[in-house]
Homo-oligomer: A and B are copies of this chain.
Amino acid sequence: MRPSGRQPDALRQISLEPGFSKHAEGSCLVRFGDTHVLCTASVDDRVPPFLRHTGLGWVTAEYGMLPRSTNTRTDREAAKGKQSGRTQEIQRLIGRSLRAVTHRQGMGELQIKVDCDVIQADGGTRTAAITGSYVALHLAFQHLVKIGKLKAVPLTDSVAGISAGIFQGAAVLDLDYAEDSTAQADTNFVLTGSGGIVEVQGTAEEKPFSQEQFLELLALAQKGIAELTALQKAALGL
Protein backbone atom coordinates (compact mmCIF):
# COMPACT_ATOMS: atom_id res chain seq x y z
CA MET A 1 0.00 0.00 0.00
CA ARG A 2 1.41 3.38 -0.98
CA PRO A 3 1.33 6.15 1.68
CA SER A 4 -0.74 8.30 -0.67
CA GLY A 5 -3.17 5.48 -1.42
CA ARG A 6 -2.27 5.64 -5.11
CA GLN A 7 -2.26 2.59 -7.39
CA PRO A 8 1.26 1.36 -8.21
CA ASP A 9 1.06 2.79 -11.71
CA ALA A 10 -0.68 6.06 -10.82
CA LEU A 11 0.96 9.46 -11.22
CA ARG A 12 0.31 12.15 -8.65
CA GLN A 13 -2.01 14.96 -9.72
CA ILE A 14 -0.09 16.80 -12.42
CA SER A 15 -0.59 20.37 -13.54
CA LEU A 16 1.32 22.46 -16.04
CA GLU A 17 0.70 26.20 -15.91
CA PRO A 18 2.29 27.84 -18.97
CA GLY A 19 3.14 31.56 -19.03
CA PHE A 20 3.41 31.78 -15.23
CA SER A 21 6.17 34.39 -15.35
CA LYS A 22 5.66 37.98 -16.53
CA HIS A 23 9.23 38.45 -17.70
CA ALA A 24 10.53 35.18 -19.19
CA GLU A 25 10.24 34.37 -22.89
CA GLY A 26 8.86 30.97 -21.88
CA SER A 27 7.74 29.71 -18.49
CA CYS A 28 5.76 26.95 -16.82
CA LEU A 29 4.86 26.22 -13.21
CA VAL A 30 4.77 22.45 -12.97
CA ARG A 31 3.16 20.56 -10.10
CA PHE A 32 3.62 16.84 -9.44
CA GLY A 33 1.37 16.67 -6.38
CA ASP A 34 3.05 18.78 -3.68
CA THR A 35 6.21 19.17 -5.71
CA HIS A 36 6.08 22.58 -7.38
CA VAL A 37 8.81 23.79 -9.74
CA LEU A 38 8.93 27.07 -11.60
CA CYS A 39 10.63 26.66 -14.98
CA THR A 40 11.62 29.74 -16.97
CA ALA A 41 13.38 29.84 -20.33
CA SER A 42 15.46 32.93 -21.05
CA VAL A 43 16.85 33.78 -24.47
CA ASP A 44 20.44 34.92 -24.63
CA ASP A 45 22.00 36.22 -27.83
CA ARG A 46 25.42 34.88 -26.95
CA VAL A 47 26.36 31.21 -27.13
CA PRO A 48 29.18 29.79 -25.00
CA PRO A 49 32.67 30.45 -26.44
CA PHE A 50 33.13 26.89 -27.78
CA LEU A 51 30.15 27.40 -30.13
CA ARG A 52 30.99 30.78 -31.62
CA HIS A 53 31.02 30.75 -35.39
CA THR A 54 29.66 27.21 -35.57
CA GLY A 55 26.06 28.09 -36.42
CA LEU A 56 24.89 25.90 -33.54
CA GLY A 57 22.73 26.96 -30.61
CA TRP A 58 22.83 25.79 -27.01
CA VAL A 59 20.33 24.92 -24.31
CA THR A 60 21.48 24.81 -20.71
CA ALA A 61 19.78 24.55 -17.34
CA GLU A 62 20.26 25.66 -13.76
CA TYR A 63 18.47 24.19 -10.78
CA GLY A 64 17.87 25.46 -7.29
CA MET A 65 15.71 24.83 -4.28
CA LEU A 66 14.27 27.55 -2.10
CA PRO A 67 15.68 26.99 1.39
CA ARG A 68 12.32 26.09 2.88
CA SER A 69 10.98 24.17 -0.09
CA THR A 70 12.02 21.14 1.94
CA ASN A 71 10.63 19.61 5.08
CA THR A 72 13.39 21.00 7.23
CA ARG A 73 15.21 24.08 6.04
CA THR A 74 18.16 23.52 3.71
CA ASP A 75 21.02 26.01 3.75
CA ARG A 76 20.92 28.50 0.90
CA GLU A 77 23.55 27.63 -1.69
CA ALA A 78 24.21 31.30 -2.48
CA ALA A 79 25.06 31.87 1.19
CA LYS A 80 27.27 28.78 1.37
CA GLY A 81 29.06 29.98 -1.76
CA LYS A 82 28.72 26.84 -3.78
CA GLN A 83 26.26 24.54 -5.41
CA SER A 84 26.12 21.04 -4.02
CA GLY A 85 27.08 17.99 -6.03
CA ARG A 86 23.41 17.03 -6.13
CA THR A 87 22.42 20.40 -7.61
CA GLN A 88 25.05 20.20 -10.28
CA GLU A 89 24.14 16.63 -11.14
CA ILE A 90 20.47 17.58 -11.57
CA GLN A 91 21.07 20.66 -13.67
CA ARG A 92 23.44 18.77 -15.96
CA LEU A 93 20.74 16.12 -16.39
CA ILE A 94 18.06 18.70 -17.26
CA GLY A 95 20.31 20.37 -19.81
CA ARG A 96 21.24 17.10 -21.53
CA SER A 97 17.60 16.03 -21.63
CA LEU A 98 16.47 19.21 -23.34
CA ARG A 99 19.36 19.20 -25.81
CA ALA A 100 18.46 15.64 -26.81
CA VAL A 101 15.25 16.89 -28.48
CA THR A 102 16.63 20.22 -29.74
CA HIS A 103 17.70 20.67 -33.34
CA ARG A 104 20.69 22.88 -32.57
CA GLN A 105 21.41 23.82 -36.19
CA GLY A 106 17.83 25.04 -36.40
CA MET A 107 18.34 27.45 -33.49
CA GLY A 108 21.18 29.40 -34.99
CA GLU A 109 23.67 30.92 -32.57
CA LEU A 110 21.26 31.50 -29.72
CA GLN A 111 21.32 30.19 -26.19
CA ILE A 112 18.34 29.32 -24.04
CA LYS A 113 18.96 29.22 -20.31
CA VAL A 114 16.34 27.27 -18.43
CA ASP A 115 16.00 27.92 -14.70
CA CYS A 116 14.24 25.33 -12.61
CA ASP A 117 13.52 26.59 -9.12
CA VAL A 118 11.80 24.34 -6.64
CA ILE A 119 9.18 26.32 -4.75
CA GLN A 120 8.03 23.27 -2.80
CA ALA A 121 9.52 19.79 -2.72
CA ASP A 122 7.87 16.44 -2.10
CA GLY A 123 10.05 14.06 -4.12
CA GLY A 124 10.65 13.92 -7.86
CA THR A 125 11.83 17.49 -8.33
CA ARG A 126 14.19 16.58 -11.18
CA THR A 127 11.56 14.75 -13.20
CA ALA A 128 9.02 17.52 -12.65
CA ALA A 129 11.66 20.04 -13.69
CA ILE A 130 12.40 18.22 -16.96
CA THR A 131 8.70 17.90 -17.74
CA GLY A 132 7.99 21.58 -17.07
CA SER A 133 11.19 22.79 -18.73
CA TYR A 134 10.16 21.26 -22.02
CA VAL A 135 7.00 23.39 -21.95
CA ALA A 136 8.94 26.55 -21.06
CA LEU A 137 11.49 25.85 -23.77
CA HIS A 138 8.80 25.28 -26.38
CA LEU A 139 7.15 28.58 -25.43
CA ALA A 140 10.45 30.45 -25.71
CA PHE A 141 10.97 28.99 -29.16
CA GLN A 142 7.40 29.94 -30.10
CA HIS A 143 8.20 33.48 -28.98
CA LEU A 144 11.29 33.54 -31.21
CA VAL A 145 9.20 32.33 -34.14
CA LYS A 146 6.60 34.97 -33.42
CA ILE A 147 9.12 37.83 -33.41
CA GLY A 148 10.70 36.49 -36.59
CA LYS A 149 14.01 35.32 -35.14
CA LEU A 150 13.33 31.68 -36.01
CA LYS A 151 11.32 30.14 -38.83
CA ALA A 152 10.11 27.13 -36.88
CA VAL A 153 10.31 25.67 -33.42
CA PRO A 154 13.57 23.66 -33.51
CA LEU A 155 12.40 20.72 -31.41
CA THR A 156 12.48 17.21 -32.85
CA ASP A 157 10.29 15.56 -30.22
CA SER A 158 8.92 16.23 -26.78
CA VAL A 159 10.68 15.06 -23.62
CA ALA A 160 9.52 14.36 -20.09
CA GLY A 161 10.86 12.73 -16.96
CA ILE A 162 9.39 10.38 -14.37
CA SER A 163 10.64 8.29 -11.49
CA ALA A 164 9.88 4.70 -10.68
CA GLY A 165 11.16 2.67 -7.79
CA ILE A 166 10.82 -0.39 -5.64
CA PHE A 167 8.90 0.47 -2.50
CA GLN A 168 8.16 -2.23 0.04
CA GLY A 169 9.02 -4.83 -2.57
CA ALA A 170 6.70 -3.49 -5.26
CA ALA A 171 7.40 -1.45 -8.37
CA VAL A 172 5.66 1.93 -8.16
CA LEU A 173 5.48 5.02 -10.38
CA ASP A 174 6.25 8.65 -9.51
CA LEU A 175 7.54 8.36 -5.95
CA ASP A 176 6.70 11.08 -3.47
CA TYR A 177 9.03 11.94 -0.60
CA ALA A 178 7.52 9.40 1.78
CA GLU A 179 8.29 6.66 -0.72
CA ASP A 180 11.52 8.05 -2.08
CA SER A 181 13.18 8.27 1.29
CA THR A 182 12.71 4.59 2.05
CA ALA A 183 12.69 3.02 -1.44
CA GLN A 184 14.91 0.03 -2.13
CA ALA A 185 15.64 1.25 -5.63
CA ASP A 186 15.13 4.58 -7.26
CA THR A 187 15.24 5.16 -10.99
CA ASN A 188 14.65 8.22 -13.11
CA PHE A 189 13.70 7.90 -16.75
CA VAL A 190 13.75 10.64 -19.35
CA LEU A 191 11.87 9.55 -22.45
CA THR A 192 10.73 11.28 -25.59
CA GLY A 193 7.11 11.60 -26.64
CA SER A 194 7.73 8.92 -29.22
CA GLY A 195 9.12 6.53 -26.62
CA GLY A 196 12.89 6.79 -27.10
CA ILE A 197 15.18 6.62 -24.09
CA VAL A 198 17.12 9.83 -23.44
CA GLU A 199 18.42 9.20 -19.94
CA VAL A 200 18.23 6.33 -17.49
CA GLN A 201 19.53 6.61 -13.97
CA GLY A 202 18.99 3.79 -11.55
CA THR A 203 20.40 3.42 -8.08
CA ALA A 204 20.05 0.56 -5.65
CA GLU A 205 19.67 2.16 -2.25
CA GLU A 206 19.82 -0.88 -0.06
CA LYS A 207 20.50 -3.96 -2.09
CA PRO A 208 21.13 -4.55 -5.80
CA PHE A 209 18.11 -5.12 -8.00
CA SER A 210 17.65 -7.53 -10.87
CA GLN A 211 17.24 -7.12 -14.60
CA GLU A 212 13.60 -8.19 -14.29
CA GLN A 213 12.88 -5.52 -11.72
CA PHE A 214 14.55 -2.96 -13.90
CA LEU A 215 12.32 -3.85 -16.85
CA GLU A 216 9.24 -3.59 -14.68
CA LEU A 217 10.27 -0.05 -13.69
CA LEU A 218 10.88 0.87 -17.30
CA ALA A 219 7.38 -0.31 -18.25
CA LEU A 220 5.86 1.87 -15.51
CA ALA A 221 7.88 4.83 -16.72
CA GLN A 222 6.72 4.36 -20.29
CA LYS A 223 3.12 4.48 -19.12
CA GLY A 224 3.76 7.60 -17.03
CA ILE A 225 5.61 9.44 -19.78
CA ALA A 226 2.73 8.81 -22.18
CA GLU A 227 0.40 10.59 -19.77
CA LEU A 228 2.84 13.46 -19.22
CA THR A 229 3.29 13.86 -22.96
CA ALA A 230 -0.45 14.30 -23.39
CA LEU A 231 -0.51 16.93 -20.65
CA GLN A 232 2.41 18.79 -22.24
CA LYS A 233 0.59 18.88 -25.58
CA ALA A 234 -2.53 20.19 -23.91
CA ALA A 235 -0.60 22.88 -22.05
CA LEU A 236 1.00 24.00 -25.29
CA GLY A 237 -2.29 23.88 -27.17
CA LEU A 238 -0.83 21.45 -29.73
CB contacts (< 8 Å) of A24 on chain B: these are: 68, 73
Within 8 A of B (CB), among A108-154: 113, 115, 117, 119-120, 122
Q: Is the CB of B73 within 8 A of A82?
A: no
A62 within 8 A of B: yes
Given A76-B62, A196-B207, A202-B199: A120 in contact with B23 (beta carbons within 8 A): yes
Q: Is the CB of B76 within 8 A of A115?
A: yes
What residue in chain B is nearest A113 (Cβ atoms)?
Answer: B73
Would you call the interface of chain A mostly helix, strand, loop, or mixed? mixed
Q: How far, in whole Å, are A100 and B206 apart by their CA atoms in the complex?
A: 6
A211 within 8 A of B: yes
Q: How far, in whole Å, are A187 and B120 apart by their CA atoms in the complex?
A: 32
CB contacts (< 8 Å) of A78 on chain B: these are: 64, 76-78, 82-83, 87
Q: Is the CB of B208 within 8 A of A197?
A: yes
| Complex copy number for this chain | 6
| A229 → B minimal CB distance (Å) | 13
Q: Is the CB of B119 within 8 A of A38?
A: yes
A5-13, A88-96, A230-238 - the one binding chain B:
A88-96
CB contacts (< 8 Å) of A197 on chain B: these are: 202, 204, 208-211, 214
Q: How far, in whole Å, are A119 and B113 apart by their CA atoms in the complex?
A: 17
Q: How far, in whole Å, are A197 and B206 apart by their CA atoms in the complex?
A: 11
Q: Is the CB of B201 within 8 A of A23?
A: no
What residue in chain B is nearest A120 (Cβ atoms)?
Answer: B22
| A83 → B minimal CB distance (Å) | 5
Q: Is the CB of B208 within 8 A of A115?
A: no
A44 within 8 A of B: yes
Residues of chain A having any CB pair with chain B under 8 Å: 21-24, 27, 34, 38, 40, 42, 44, 62, 64, 66-73, 76-79, 81-89, 91-92, 96, 100, 113, 115, 117, 119-120, 122, 157, 187, 191-192, 194-204, 207-211, 214, 218
Task: Given contact pairs A21-B68, A196-B210, enumerate 6 new A-B contacts (beta carbons under 8 Å).
Answer: A62-B76, A78-B83, A82-B82, A195-B210, A196-B208, A197-B204
- 28 A-B contacts (beta carbon < 8 Å): A21-B69, A21-B120, A22-B122, A23-B69, A23-B72, A23-B120, A24-B73, A27-B68, A38-B119, A62-B67, A64-B66, A64-B78, A66-B117, A78-B83, A79-B83, A81-B81, A81-B82, A82-B82, A100-B204, A194-B208, A195-B210, A196-B210, A197-B202, A197-B209, A198-B203, A199-B202, A199-B203, A201-B202
